[in-house]
Amino acid sequence: MIGNIYDVVVKTATGEDKPLSKYAGKVLLIVNVASYCGYTPQYKGLEALNEKYKQAGLQVLGFPCNDFGAQEPGSNQEIKQFCESLYGVSFELFDKVKALGATKHPLYEKLTQLAPSKEDVAWNFEKFLISKKGQVVGRFKSGVSPESPELITAIEKELAK
């Protein structure tokens, strides 16, 4: 079906293919993350959203990305260890992706194509809210924190559908 992200296959942090169709029926918050960014403390808020809303059907998905200021240089294992030990992250972290350029990951091709605003991702911790049907229903710039009322309202609205 055109108009959703379910035909995209991503790699887990351990290198296995995972079709996003596995998340059908869930509300997703997809975030390009980095360990050495001014926005890195958002991991704490993302984990709080994950904990608060996972029983209601939200899944936060983190995609490490080194495109912006080379702020994610580590291996998948280093990234996972960093996130767990410093921020208590339990949400799923995936293989490192490219969000920009000629080698942009198909996920980011699809997200930017389906989002209301079609421009490239501008920086780390940009958030895409995905409906239970796999459609992009919200896009939030890096400066919109996980605790932001506009993001929480949008998540709760999607979960209620």
pLDDT digits (tens, 9 = 90+) for 60-109: 999 999 999 999 999 999 999 999 999 999 999 999 999 999 999 999 99
Residue that wins the pLDDT comparison between 10 and 3: 10
pTM of the model: 0.96
Average pLDDT, the chain: 96
Active site residues: 37
* Integer CA distances (angstroms), 159 to 6, 14, 109, 142, 153, in order: 18, 29, 25, 22, 10
Quick: pLDDT tens for 40-62. 999 999 999 999 999 999 999 99
Percent of the chain whose predicted confidence (pLDDT) is above 70: 99
pLDDT at 1: 40
Confidence band of 118 (pLDDT split at 50, 70, 90): confident
End-to-end Cα, the chain, rounded Å: 20
Domains of the chain, each with CATH number or no CATH = 9-160 (3.40.30.10)
pLDDT at 2: 54
pLDDT at 149: 98
- Local structure of 116: helix, strand or coil: coil
